[in-house]
Amino acid sequence: MIDIQLIRDEEDLVKTGVVNKGGDVELVDDIKKLDKEKRRLQVEIEAFQANLNAISKEISKQFGQKKLDLIKEASQISAEIEKHRPKLLEMESDLDSLLKKVPNLPLSDVIKGGSDKDNKVWYKKGKLPEFSFTPKDHVDLAKQLDLIDFEAAARASGSRFAYLKGQLTILEISLMRYGMDFLISKGFVPIIPPVLMSGQVMEAAGYLINNEDEIYKTQDDLYLAGTSEQPLLALHAGQIIPEENLPLRYMGISSCFRREAGSYGKDVRGILRMHQFQKLEMFVFTTPDKAEEDHKHLLALAEELMEKLEIPYQVINICSGDLNFSAAKKWDIEAWMAGQGQYRETHSLSNCTDFQARSLNIRYKRTDGKIDYLATLNGTAFSERPLISILENNQQADGSILIPKVLVPYTGFKVIK
Protein backbone atom coordinates (compact mmCIF):
# COMPACT_ATOMS: atom_id res chain seq x y z
CA MET A 1 0.00 0.00 0.00
CA ILE A 2 1.13 3.50 -0.79
CA ASP A 3 1.81 6.07 1.93
CA ILE A 4 -1.13 8.47 2.06
CA GLN A 5 1.24 11.16 3.28
CA LEU A 6 2.91 10.99 -0.12
CA ILE A 7 -0.40 11.76 -1.81
CA ARG A 8 -0.94 14.69 0.57
CA ASP A 9 2.54 16.13 0.09
CA GLU A 10 3.62 15.11 -3.41
CA GLU A 11 0.47 14.76 -5.41
CA ASP A 12 2.18 15.37 -8.76
CA LEU A 13 4.88 12.84 -8.11
CA VAL A 14 2.29 10.21 -7.28
CA LYS A 15 0.20 11.05 -10.32
CA THR A 16 3.20 10.79 -12.63
CA GLY A 17 4.10 7.42 -11.16
CA VAL A 18 0.55 6.13 -11.47
CA VAL A 19 0.35 7.24 -15.11
CA ASN A 20 3.69 5.65 -15.96
CA LYS A 21 2.42 2.44 -14.50
CA GLY A 22 -0.69 2.57 -16.64
CA GLY A 23 -3.03 3.63 -13.82
CA ASP A 24 -5.68 6.29 -13.53
CA VAL A 25 -4.91 9.72 -12.00
CA GLU A 26 -8.54 10.23 -11.03
CA LEU A 27 -7.93 7.72 -8.29
CA VAL A 28 -5.41 10.08 -6.72
CA ASP A 29 -7.81 13.02 -6.92
CA ASP A 30 -10.56 10.96 -5.31
CA ILE A 31 -8.27 9.95 -2.47
CA LYS A 32 -7.12 13.49 -1.85
CA LYS A 33 -10.68 14.77 -1.68
CA LEU A 34 -12.00 11.99 0.52
CA ASP A 35 -9.01 12.24 2.84
CA LYS A 36 -9.73 15.92 3.42
CA GLU A 37 -13.39 15.30 4.18
CA LYS A 38 -12.57 12.41 6.44
CA ARG A 39 -10.14 14.44 8.50
CA ARG A 40 -12.62 17.27 8.90
CA LEU A 41 -15.22 14.89 10.30
CA GLN A 42 -12.61 13.18 12.44
CA VAL A 43 -11.64 16.44 14.15
CA GLU A 44 -15.30 17.13 14.86
CA ILE A 45 -15.96 13.73 16.37
CA GLU A 46 -12.76 13.69 18.40
CA ALA A 47 -13.74 16.98 20.00
CA PHE A 48 -17.00 15.41 21.16
CA GLN A 49 -15.13 12.37 22.36
CA ALA A 50 -12.64 14.45 24.35
CA ASN A 51 -15.52 16.25 26.02
CA LEU A 52 -17.28 12.97 26.80
CA ASN A 53 -14.12 11.47 28.28
CA ALA A 54 -13.68 14.48 30.55
CA ILE A 55 -17.27 14.30 31.77
CA SER A 56 -17.06 10.56 32.34
CA LYS A 57 -14.09 11.09 34.58
CA GLU A 58 -15.95 13.77 36.48
CA ILE A 59 -18.94 11.44 36.93
CA SER A 60 -16.83 8.97 38.86
CA LYS A 61 -16.01 11.69 41.40
CA GLN A 62 -19.49 13.17 41.82
CA PHE A 63 -22.52 12.07 43.83
CA GLY A 64 -26.23 12.82 44.00
CA GLN A 65 -28.01 15.20 41.67
CA LYS A 66 -24.75 16.57 40.24
CA LYS A 67 -23.83 13.07 39.12
CA LEU A 68 -27.25 12.49 37.54
CA ASP A 69 -26.99 15.76 35.65
CA LEU A 70 -23.60 14.86 34.31
CA ILE A 71 -24.78 11.43 33.21
CA LYS A 72 -27.60 13.05 31.32
CA GLU A 73 -25.20 15.45 29.63
CA ALA A 74 -22.84 12.62 28.76
CA SER A 75 -25.71 10.65 27.22
CA GLN A 76 -26.44 13.50 24.90
CA ILE A 77 -22.83 13.82 23.79
CA SER A 78 -22.62 10.09 23.35
CA ALA A 79 -25.70 10.16 21.14
CA GLU A 80 -24.17 12.96 19.11
CA ILE A 81 -21.05 10.89 18.51
CA GLU A 82 -23.09 7.86 17.51
CA LYS A 83 -24.90 10.01 14.99
CA HIS A 84 -21.69 10.92 13.14
CA ARG A 85 -19.57 7.84 13.66
CA PRO A 86 -21.03 5.60 10.94
CA LYS A 87 -20.18 8.26 8.36
CA LEU A 88 -16.58 8.41 9.56
CA LEU A 89 -16.23 4.62 9.50
CA GLU A 90 -17.63 4.55 6.00
CA MET A 91 -15.21 7.24 4.85
CA GLU A 92 -12.27 5.42 6.42
CA SER A 93 -13.24 2.19 4.76
CA ASP A 94 -13.76 3.86 1.37
CA LEU A 95 -10.45 5.65 1.67
CA ASP A 96 -8.73 2.40 2.49
CA SER A 97 -10.22 0.66 -0.56
CA LEU A 98 -9.12 3.50 -2.81
CA LEU A 99 -5.60 3.53 -1.36
CA LYS A 100 -5.25 -0.19 -1.96
CA LYS A 101 -5.83 0.40 -5.66
CA VAL A 102 -2.84 2.71 -6.03
CA PRO A 103 0.15 0.79 -7.39
CA ASN A 104 3.67 1.15 -6.10
CA LEU A 105 5.45 3.96 -7.93
CA PRO A 106 8.31 3.17 -10.31
CA LEU A 107 11.74 4.34 -9.19
CA SER A 108 13.07 7.32 -11.11
CA ASP A 109 15.51 5.28 -13.20
CA VAL A 110 12.88 2.86 -14.50
CA ILE A 111 12.32 3.18 -18.26
CA LYS A 112 8.93 4.62 -19.08
CA GLY A 113 6.86 2.34 -21.22
CA GLY A 114 3.41 0.95 -21.71
CA SER A 115 3.93 -2.78 -22.00
CA ASP A 116 6.49 -5.55 -22.22
CA LYS A 117 7.29 -4.34 -25.74
CA ASP A 118 9.10 -1.38 -24.16
CA ASN A 119 11.33 -3.55 -21.98
CA LYS A 120 15.01 -3.21 -22.85
CA VAL A 121 17.74 -5.80 -23.00
CA TRP A 122 20.35 -4.50 -20.59
CA TYR A 123 23.17 -6.94 -21.34
CA LYS A 124 23.90 -10.49 -22.41
CA LYS A 125 26.23 -13.05 -20.83
CA GLY A 126 27.50 -16.43 -21.92
CA LYS A 127 28.35 -18.03 -25.20
CA LEU A 128 25.49 -19.53 -27.18
CA PRO A 129 25.91 -23.27 -27.83
CA GLU A 130 26.57 -24.37 -31.40
CA PHE A 131 25.31 -27.58 -32.90
CA SER A 132 26.34 -29.67 -35.87
CA PHE A 133 22.69 -30.74 -36.09
CA THR A 134 19.33 -29.09 -35.67
CA PRO A 135 18.70 -28.89 -31.92
CA LYS A 136 15.38 -30.23 -30.70
CA ASP A 137 13.17 -28.52 -28.17
CA HIS A 138 12.74 -29.96 -24.69
CA VAL A 139 9.39 -31.56 -25.50
CA ASP A 140 10.86 -33.74 -28.23
CA LEU A 141 13.92 -34.46 -26.13
CA ALA A 142 11.79 -35.41 -23.15
CA LYS A 143 9.64 -37.67 -25.25
CA GLN A 144 12.66 -39.39 -26.73
CA LEU A 145 14.22 -39.94 -23.28
CA ASP A 146 10.91 -40.62 -21.47
CA LEU A 147 11.36 -37.69 -19.09
CA ILE A 148 7.93 -36.03 -19.16
CA ASP A 149 4.43 -37.44 -19.55
CA PHE A 150 2.09 -34.70 -20.71
CA GLU A 151 -0.66 -37.04 -21.87
CA ALA A 152 -1.07 -38.69 -18.49
CA ALA A 153 -1.01 -35.28 -16.80
CA ALA A 154 -3.71 -34.04 -19.15
CA ARG A 155 -5.89 -37.01 -18.25
CA ALA A 156 -5.19 -36.59 -14.55
CA SER A 157 -5.38 -32.81 -14.23
CA GLY A 158 -5.92 -31.14 -17.57
CA SER A 159 -3.69 -29.02 -19.74
CA ARG A 160 -0.58 -27.26 -18.45
CA PHE A 161 0.35 -30.06 -16.08
CA ALA A 162 3.14 -32.58 -16.37
CA TYR A 163 4.62 -35.66 -14.79
CA LEU A 164 8.36 -35.21 -14.59
CA LYS A 165 9.94 -38.62 -14.69
CA GLY A 166 13.12 -40.51 -13.95
CA GLN A 167 16.36 -38.64 -14.42
CA LEU A 168 14.53 -35.36 -14.99
CA THR A 169 12.95 -35.64 -11.53
CA ILE A 170 16.40 -36.17 -10.08
CA LEU A 171 17.75 -33.25 -12.10
CA GLU A 172 14.98 -31.00 -10.86
CA ILE A 173 15.59 -31.90 -7.20
CA SER A 174 19.34 -31.50 -7.81
CA LEU A 175 18.86 -28.04 -9.25
CA MET A 176 16.90 -26.95 -6.20
CA ARG A 177 19.35 -28.52 -3.81
CA TYR A 178 22.26 -26.90 -5.58
CA GLY A 179 20.54 -23.54 -5.41
CA MET A 180 19.83 -24.05 -1.74
CA ASP A 181 23.42 -24.85 -0.89
CA PHE A 182 24.59 -21.84 -2.85
CA LEU A 183 22.18 -19.50 -1.06
CA ILE A 184 22.88 -21.00 2.34
CA SER A 185 26.53 -20.14 1.74
CA LYS A 186 25.37 -16.56 1.07
CA GLY A 187 23.53 -16.38 4.36
CA PHE A 188 19.98 -17.10 3.27
CA VAL A 189 17.75 -19.00 5.68
CA PRO A 190 15.94 -21.89 3.99
CA ILE A 191 12.18 -21.97 4.50
CA ILE A 192 9.42 -24.35 3.49
CA PRO A 193 6.44 -22.02 3.72
CA PRO A 194 2.72 -22.67 3.78
CA VAL A 195 1.35 -22.46 0.24
CA LEU A 196 -2.23 -21.67 1.21
CA MET A 197 -2.53 -18.01 2.04
CA SER A 198 -5.20 -15.74 3.46
CA GLY A 199 -6.75 -13.05 1.31
CA GLN A 200 -5.15 -10.41 3.46
CA VAL A 201 -1.67 -11.67 2.64
CA MET A 202 -2.43 -12.04 -1.05
CA GLU A 203 -3.77 -8.52 -1.14
CA ALA A 204 -0.79 -7.13 0.76
CA ALA A 205 1.58 -8.89 -1.60
CA GLY A 206 -0.23 -7.08 -4.40
CA TYR A 207 -1.80 -10.04 -6.15
CA LEU A 208 -5.48 -9.32 -5.67
CA ILE A 209 -5.70 -5.99 -7.46
CA ASN A 210 -4.87 -6.69 -11.10
CA ASN A 211 -4.02 -10.36 -10.87
CA GLU A 212 -6.95 -11.83 -9.01
CA ASP A 213 -7.87 -14.27 -11.76
CA GLU A 214 -4.28 -15.52 -11.85
CA ILE A 215 -4.74 -17.09 -8.44
CA TYR A 216 -6.47 -20.24 -7.27
CA LYS A 217 -8.94 -19.78 -4.46
CA THR A 218 -10.13 -22.62 -2.27
CA GLN A 219 -13.53 -23.21 -0.70
CA ASP A 220 -12.08 -22.10 2.63
CA ASP A 221 -11.20 -18.65 1.27
CA LEU A 222 -7.54 -19.48 1.23
CA TYR A 223 -5.49 -18.82 -1.88
CA LEU A 224 -2.86 -21.10 -3.36
CA ALA A 225 0.48 -19.34 -3.43
CA GLY A 226 1.63 -18.40 -6.91
CA THR A 227 5.12 -17.90 -5.50
CA SER A 228 6.66 -18.28 -2.06
CA GLU A 229 7.20 -14.53 -2.17
CA GLN A 230 3.69 -14.35 -0.73
CA PRO A 231 4.15 -16.52 2.37
CA LEU A 232 7.67 -15.21 2.93
CA LEU A 233 6.36 -11.66 2.97
CA ALA A 234 3.91 -12.66 5.69
CA LEU A 235 6.63 -14.25 7.79
CA HIS A 236 7.18 -11.03 9.76
CA ALA A 237 3.71 -9.53 9.45
CA GLY A 238 2.96 -7.14 12.28
CA GLN A 239 6.47 -7.30 13.68
CA ILE A 240 8.97 -4.60 14.53
CA ILE A 241 12.49 -5.84 13.81
CA PRO A 242 15.55 -4.24 15.39
CA GLU A 243 17.71 -2.60 12.72
CA GLU A 244 20.78 -4.53 13.85
CA ASN A 245 19.08 -7.79 12.80
CA LEU A 246 18.74 -6.59 9.21
CA PRO A 247 18.84 -7.53 6.46
CA LEU A 248 16.85 -10.74 6.82
CA ARG A 249 17.50 -13.02 3.87
CA TYR A 250 15.30 -16.03 3.21
CA MET A 251 14.89 -18.60 0.51
CA GLY A 252 11.54 -20.26 0.13
CA ILE A 253 11.16 -23.57 -1.60
CA SER A 254 7.66 -24.48 -2.60
CA SER A 255 5.26 -25.57 -5.25
CA CYS A 256 3.73 -22.59 -6.99
CA PHE A 257 0.27 -22.50 -8.50
CA ARG A 258 -0.97 -20.23 -11.27
CA ARG A 259 -4.20 -20.28 -13.19
CA GLU A 260 -2.57 -18.80 -16.28
CA ALA A 261 -5.93 -17.33 -17.18
CA GLY A 262 -5.79 -15.30 -20.34
CA SER A 263 -2.75 -17.13 -21.63
CA TYR A 264 -4.72 -19.58 -23.76
CA GLY A 265 -2.72 -20.67 -26.74
CA LYS A 266 0.43 -19.01 -25.41
CA ASP A 267 3.46 -21.15 -24.62
CA VAL A 268 1.34 -24.29 -24.63
CA ARG A 269 4.22 -26.50 -25.61
CA GLY A 270 6.32 -28.00 -22.87
CA ILE A 271 6.90 -27.03 -19.28
CA LEU A 272 7.47 -23.30 -19.78
CA ARG A 273 4.06 -22.22 -18.53
CA MET A 274 2.44 -24.59 -16.09
CA HIS A 275 -0.29 -24.43 -13.48
CA GLN A 276 2.08 -25.96 -10.96
CA PHE A 277 5.83 -25.83 -10.63
CA GLN A 278 8.61 -25.85 -8.07
CA LYS A 279 10.46 -22.68 -7.31
CA LEU A 280 13.31 -21.63 -5.09
CA GLU A 281 12.75 -18.00 -4.25
CA MET A 282 14.94 -15.40 -2.58
CA PHE A 283 13.28 -12.89 -0.29
CA VAL A 284 14.90 -10.02 1.59
CA PHE A 285 13.69 -7.66 4.28
CA THR A 286 15.94 -4.63 4.48
CA THR A 287 15.95 -0.93 5.27
CA PRO A 288 14.57 1.35 2.54
CA ASP A 289 17.94 3.04 1.98
CA LYS A 290 19.59 -0.34 1.33
CA ALA A 291 16.86 -1.67 -0.96
CA GLU A 292 18.52 -0.80 -4.27
CA GLU A 293 21.81 -2.26 -3.14
CA ASP A 294 20.07 -5.49 -2.06
CA HIS A 295 18.20 -5.57 -5.37
CA LYS A 296 21.53 -5.55 -7.23
CA HIS A 297 22.77 -8.22 -4.88
CA LEU A 298 19.84 -10.49 -5.75
CA LEU A 299 20.48 -10.01 -9.45
CA ALA A 300 24.15 -10.82 -8.98
CA LEU A 301 23.26 -14.03 -7.13
CA ALA A 302 20.75 -15.12 -9.77
CA GLU A 303 23.31 -14.43 -12.49
CA GLU A 304 25.98 -16.36 -10.67
CA LEU A 305 23.66 -19.36 -10.46
CA MET A 306 23.06 -19.24 -14.21
CA GLU A 307 26.74 -18.78 -14.95
CA LYS A 308 27.60 -21.82 -12.84
CA LEU A 309 25.12 -23.83 -14.89
CA GLU A 310 26.75 -22.39 -18.02
CA ILE A 311 23.43 -21.17 -19.34
CA PRO A 312 23.68 -18.07 -21.59
CA TYR A 313 21.25 -15.36 -20.58
CA GLN A 314 20.28 -11.76 -21.00
CA VAL A 315 19.16 -9.29 -18.35
CA ILE A 316 16.05 -7.27 -19.08
CA ASN A 317 15.19 -3.87 -17.69
CA ILE A 318 11.45 -3.95 -17.12
CA CYS A 319 9.67 -0.75 -18.11
CA SER A 320 7.20 1.07 -15.88
CA GLY A 321 4.08 -0.24 -17.59
CA ASP A 322 5.17 -3.85 -17.27
CA LEU A 323 5.98 -3.68 -13.55
CA ASN A 324 3.95 -5.73 -11.12
CA PHE A 325 1.51 -3.84 -8.92
CA SER A 326 3.86 -3.94 -5.92
CA ALA A 327 7.15 -3.48 -7.73
CA ALA A 328 9.05 -0.21 -7.97
CA LYS A 329 11.68 -1.75 -10.18
CA LYS A 330 12.20 -5.11 -11.77
CA TRP A 331 14.78 -7.02 -13.73
CA ASP A 332 14.19 -10.28 -15.52
CA ILE A 333 16.73 -12.84 -16.58
CA GLU A 334 15.96 -14.58 -19.82
CA ALA A 335 17.81 -17.81 -20.47
CA TRP A 336 18.84 -19.12 -23.83
CA MET A 337 16.77 -22.11 -24.93
CA ALA A 338 18.56 -23.62 -27.91
CA GLY A 339 15.72 -25.79 -29.16
CA GLN A 340 13.51 -22.75 -29.45
CA GLY A 341 16.32 -20.52 -30.58
CA GLN A 342 15.37 -17.73 -28.23
CA TYR A 343 15.80 -16.28 -24.77
CA ARG A 344 12.88 -16.95 -22.42
CA GLU A 345 12.17 -15.56 -18.97
CA THR A 346 13.48 -17.72 -16.16
CA HIS A 347 13.99 -15.20 -13.36
CA SER A 348 12.29 -12.10 -12.09
CA LEU A 349 13.75 -9.85 -9.42
CA SER A 350 11.70 -7.07 -7.88
CA ASN A 351 12.28 -4.23 -5.50
CA CYS A 352 8.97 -3.58 -3.77
CA THR A 353 10.32 -0.79 -1.54
CA ASP A 354 8.09 -0.33 1.52
CA PHE A 355 4.90 -0.97 -0.44
CA GLN A 356 4.17 -4.54 0.67
CA ALA A 357 5.53 -3.98 4.16
CA ARG A 358 3.14 -1.11 4.78
CA SER A 359 0.14 -3.33 4.04
CA LEU A 360 1.26 -6.00 6.48
CA ASN A 361 2.71 -3.58 9.03
CA ILE A 362 6.23 -4.95 8.82
CA ARG A 363 8.52 -2.42 10.44
CA TYR A 364 11.94 -1.98 11.93
CA LYS A 365 13.28 -0.04 14.87
CA ARG A 366 16.16 2.12 13.79
CA THR A 367 19.20 2.47 15.96
CA ASP A 368 18.05 6.01 16.74
CA GLY A 369 14.78 4.60 18.11
CA LYS A 370 12.53 5.65 15.23
CA ILE A 371 10.21 3.13 13.69
CA ASP A 372 9.73 2.83 9.94
CA TYR A 373 8.49 0.39 7.33
CA LEU A 374 10.92 -2.12 5.88
CA ALA A 375 11.62 -2.62 2.21
CA THR A 376 10.99 -6.03 0.69
CA LEU A 377 12.68 -7.61 -2.31
CA ASN A 378 12.11 -10.87 -4.05
CA GLY A 379 13.80 -12.76 -6.80
CA THR A 380 13.88 -16.15 -8.41
CA ALA A 381 16.80 -18.41 -7.60
CA PHE A 382 15.55 -21.35 -9.67
CA SER A 383 12.23 -22.38 -11.08
CA GLU A 384 11.72 -25.37 -13.35
CA ARG A 385 12.34 -23.27 -16.42
CA PRO A 386 16.14 -23.58 -16.32
CA LEU A 387 15.55 -27.29 -16.89
CA ILE A 388 14.42 -26.36 -20.38
CA SER A 389 17.72 -24.62 -21.04
CA ILE A 390 19.68 -27.51 -19.64
CA LEU A 391 17.84 -30.03 -21.81
CA GLU A 392 17.92 -27.97 -24.98
CA ASN A 393 21.38 -26.40 -24.70
CA ASN A 394 23.21 -29.50 -23.56
CA GLN A 395 21.75 -32.00 -26.03
CA GLN A 396 24.22 -34.13 -27.93
CA ALA A 397 24.13 -35.56 -31.43
CA ASP A 398 23.22 -38.98 -30.05
CA GLY A 399 20.16 -37.55 -28.28
CA SER A 400 21.67 -37.67 -24.80
CA ILE A 401 21.93 -34.65 -22.51
CA LEU A 402 24.96 -33.57 -20.53
CA ILE A 403 24.38 -32.52 -16.92
CA PRO A 404 26.04 -29.22 -15.95
CA LYS A 405 29.22 -29.99 -14.00
CA VAL A 406 28.09 -28.28 -10.80
CA LEU A 407 24.99 -30.47 -10.65
CA VAL A 408 26.72 -33.81 -11.12
CA PRO A 409 27.52 -34.19 -7.40
CA TYR A 410 23.79 -33.82 -6.80
CA THR A 411 22.40 -35.95 -9.63
CA GLY A 412 24.91 -38.73 -9.33
CA PHE A 413 25.04 -39.03 -13.12
CA LYS A 414 26.74 -36.99 -15.84
CA VAL A 415 24.38 -37.63 -18.68
CA ILE A 416 20.74 -38.34 -19.35
CA LYS A 417 20.27 -41.05 -21.91
Residues between 79 and 118 that touch RNA (CB under 7 A):
89
CA 299 to CA 333: how far, in whole Å? 9
**In degrees rounded to 5, what are phi and psi of residue 242?**
-60, 140
Count residues near RNA (CB under 7 A).
26
CB of 371 to RNA, least distance (A): 4
CB of 181 to RNA, least distance (A): 24
CB of 49 to RNA, least distance (A): 4
| 46 interacts with RNA by CB under 7 A | yes
- Told to judge if 273 belongs to the known catalytic residues of this protein, a careful annotator would answer yes
Contact stretch for RNA (CB under 7 A) within 72-80, 107-115, 168-176, 179-187: 72-80
| 199 interacts with RNA by CB under 7 A | no
Collapsing DSSP to helix, strand or coil, 53 comes out as helix
Pick the catalytic residue from 39, 58, 345, 366.
345
Residues between 229 and 258 that touch RNA (CB under 7 A):
240
- Told to judge if 345 belongs to the known catalytic residues of this protein, a careful annotator would answer yes
Q: Using CB under 7 A, pick the residue from 371, 396, 409, 413 that binds RNA.
A: 371
The DSSP result for 199-239, as a single string, is HHHHHHHT-SSS-GGGS-B-TTSEEE-SSTHHHHHHTTTT-
Based on CB atoms, which residue is closest to RNA, 19 or 196?
Answer: 196
Based on CB atoms, which residue is closest to RNA, 297 or 363?
Answer: 363
Contact stretch for RNA (CB under 7 A) within 39-47, 97-105, 205-213, 290-298: 39-47
Q: State how far the alpha carbon of 379 is from the alpha carbons of 45, 342, 346, 357, in Å.
A: 46, 22, 11, 16
Which residues are 375's β-sheet partners? Answer: 286
| 49 interacts with RNA by CB under 7 A | yes
415-416/401-402 β-pairing: antiparallel
Stated as kind and residue range, the H or E segment containing 14 is helix 11-20
CB of 175 to RNA, least distance (A): 24
Residues 13 and 102 sit within 8 Å (Cβ to Cβ): no
CB of 64 to RNA, least distance (A): 13
Interacting residues of 180 by C-beta distance below 8 A, sequence separation 6+: 190, 251, 253, 280
Chain length of the chain: 417
CA 236 to CA 175: how far, in whole Å? 28
The beta strand positions in 338-387, using DSSP E, are 342-351, 363-365, 371-373, 375-382
Residues 328 and 351 sit within 8 Å (Cβ to Cβ): yes
Pick the catalytic residue from 172, 326, 385, 389.
385
Which residues are 291's β-sheet partners? Answer: none
- Told to judge if 258 belongs to the known catalytic residues of this protein, a careful annotator would answer yes
Based on CB atoms, which residue is closest to RNA, 52 or 164?
Answer: 52
The DSSP result for 167-188, as a single string, is HHHHHHHHHHHHHHHHHHHTTP
Pick the catalytic residue from 8, 39, 259, 273.
273
CB of 289 to RNA, least distance (A): 18
Pick the catalytic residue from 160, 249, 258, 363.
258
Chain residues in the site for RNA (CB under 7 A): 4, 39, 42-43, 46-47, 49-50, 52-57, 59-60, 71, 74-75, 77-78, 89, 240, 363, 365, 371
Residues with a catalytic annotation lie at 258, 273, 345, 348, 385
